[in-house]
Structure 1
């Protein structure tokens, strides 16, 4: 008895053929795996630095009516957290805050400044904070108290609380994984479906019993499989070669893969749009770069968006790659679960609805 035609089997056959074609393409391998790994290798060998910003908080018992306190708060490079209690302790342990500052004074004695930091904080930022404090104290002495020895002194001992060591790779690798997924989703899908139309491959598919949605699913599934393999390679190299932090081991790794899958589906939607609006193959890169380049530069791929000008930060926080990077860093280093990243996932979901609504409207079969 002859078997009926299976749409699923046909879709998987398309997936298998497309996946073979991807692995045989040197450019796909280079841009998806080798190029992001170059950045990981460069930043991995730099050392164990962390974020650039100097974020601090003042101890609840700190004196807040002295010139040092006011001078420190008015420095543009210093960001003061308003958190208290357990939330402040958590930020300190995870290195989000460089140091907890306590300014105290005894009778007829200068102010004494005590710093409490964490092993998760960047040691260079602690040194930067000490230098800033010395500069503030020196400026106050010269301007207001030239006759006094000093208005304040900094305790040489920095109290340390336990915390994970935060390395450069913990910031860079999530950005490079997002870079890889976004590039593959936009450029890979755009060139693929444009060429399938130009070479009349899609038209030939119409002569077979396979339905149109299964054609798209088959081709898309091959891209998803290839990019998830790429993500596995990037994460494993980062973890075993450069000590990229996976707080909960395989649980964290699995959650990262789920997050990568969600982000890749979104980024592929951009690729469908580009493949439809491009009139010629040469116009694909300009359209694709309009989507990818701003996100590479503004989504916290290489630097924290807190370093950007104030007017630029709201734009950065709208971009989908920003929320992928934030969620990935929270899961990998801070031990958050997907349920703790509902805001980031929600933003990605909103982008997905908008992007695929446009993609369905613009997608062309011929």
Structure 2
């Protein structure tokens, strides 16, 4: 009696063959490596310097309080003083000023100061940075048992990580690379295998259908992870992309990449199932990828969108992958800290694979 057929070896063999095919595909290289890399290089060169938030101080503010003193020395904040209310309002409307702060002594005594901050929708990307700076500063103040001195505040809050444009752009480009690989790659491959009767020939062998799927998926994941590592390395060593915990951060980003890619491949299975011809795959795939590319915070914060559009942006799976990537890379969050984003991506995955089961065709 012969040895039983080893489907594990068959899966690995299919993965190896598919990986070689992907490496020879110009479109795969362009969407996974070249396209994101071009954007990273462009934004890396124009945004290699530190981001500055232009913060106006309202007339009548207490300029000697610890909040203003600390912000005045913060490397990411540029304070605008001695400006009248009309000029400040005009600057906020045009985006020349990113926010307005008014700090007064608290007559009640505790907390010592009350800070009121007004942001402008013209520069909400910088507004989110300022929110992080102020939250850290106010948390330090509120944690004190006694009223802090300016020196104590300066030592505890002025030191901070430099937030560069690349820290926002790179996770978005990495997410888009995974989206393109998952949707376009999966759709074209399985449609071609079905159209060329390759899958039908597999059915004449002992290879299981699951081995065909897993083999292709392993190849896609392997290629996407290589692309992710390449993008992260370029961003870190050439443009100082922040990896707060070094190799641990990279590992967490790669795990997020795997989760995101698996979800996005589900869209590819759906497209390959409903496409009537190879020429219909690009338009159907673009209907899925283009809105996410534009609305999921790839280039700028979704807070800049109109209020009615933001719920749509927050419903897209790429939004949560980008958000999780940025929290892990710059804020040092672990996977458990971004469990909400992961859960939403998993829910998307369950839903899209349920659709894929109904639409996917083997022959």
Fold shared, TM-score > 0.5 on shorter chain: yes
Give the 3 Å change call, closer, same or farther, for CA 53–206 of structure 1 in structure 2: farther
**TM-score, reference length from structure 1:** 0.75
Q: Which residue of 85, 110, 135 corresponds with 1:136?
A: 85
Once residues 119 and 4 of structure 1 are traced to their aligned partners in structure 2, the CA distance between those partners, rounded to angstroms, is 72
1:76 is matched with: none
What's 2:343 paired with?
346
1:219 aligns with 2:173: no
Tell me how far 1:311 sits from its aligned partner.
Answer: 1.3
Give the TM-score, by structure 2 length. Answer: 0.76
Deviates more, 1:2-11 or 1:244-253: 2-11
- Note closer, same or farther for the CA distance 1:138–1:363 as it changes in structure 2 (3 Å cut): closer
Query: Residues 5-20 of structure 1: matches in 2 within 5 Å?
Result: 5-20=5-20
Q: What does residue 117 of structure 1 align with?
A: 71
Contact 2:50 2:162 (C-alpha < 8 Å) held by counterparts: no
Asked if the contact 1:269/1:356 (under 8 Å) is kept, the reply is yes
Name the residue aligned to 1:244.
241
Distance 2:302 2:51 in 1: 11
Q: Contact conserved, 2:75 with 2:158, CA < 8 A, in 1?
A: no
The aligned counterpart of 1:168 is 165
* Alignment correspondent of 2:256: 259
The CA distance in 2 between the partners of 1:348 and 1:335, in whole Å, is 20
Note the alpha carbon deviations across 1:132-172, whole angstroms, 9 max, x for none: x82426579xxxxxxxxxxx999xx9966111000011000
Distance (whole Å) between structure 2 residues aligned to residue 201 and residue 297 of structure 1: 36
Alignment-derived partner of residue 295 in structure 2: 298
Q: 1:326 aligns with which of 312, 323, 333?
A: 323
Change (3 A) 1:2 1:47: same
Which shows bigger deviation, 169-178 or 18-27? Answer: 18-27
Distance in 2, Cα, partners of 1:352 & 1:307 = 28
| Contact in 1 for aligned 2:166/2:239 (Cα 8 Å) | yes
1:103 is the counterpart of 2:52: no
Once the two structures are TM-superposed, the CA of residue 52 in structure 1 deviates from its matched residue by: 9.2
Tell me the distance in 2 between the aligned counterparts of 1:298 and 1:187. 19
SS of the aligned residue for 1:39 comes to helix
CA distance in 1, matches of 2:163, 2:67: 25
Q: Relative to 1, partners in 2 of residues 1:247 and 1:196: Cα closer, same or farther, differing over 3 Å?
A: same
Q: Secondary structure at the match of 1:230?
A: helix
Question: How far apart, CA to CA, are the structure 2 residues paired with 1:340 and 1:112?
Answer: 31
Using the alignment, how far apart are the partners of 1:138 and 1:55 within structure 2?
13
**Equivalent residue number for residue 38 of structure 1:** 38
Give unmatched runs, 5+ long, in structure 2: 90-100, 104-149
Instruction: Report the number of matched residues.
Output: 302
Cα root mean square deviation, aligned? 3.1
Seen in structure 2, the aligned counterparts of structure 1 residues 166 and 345 have a Cα distance that, compared at 3 Å, is same
- What's 2:192 paired with? 195
1:21 equivalent in alignment to 2:21: yes
The answer to whether the 8 Å contact 1:189/1:275 transfers is yes
Q: Flag the 1:38–1:285 CA change in 2: closer, same or farther, 3 A.
A: same
Q: Hey, what's the Cα distance between the residues in 2 that align with 1:325 and 1:55?
A: 27
Distance change >3 Å, CA 365–CA 345, structure 1 → 2: same
Distance in 1, Cα, partners of 2:209 & 2:51: 48
Q: 1:118 to 1:48 in 2, by over 3 A?
A: farther
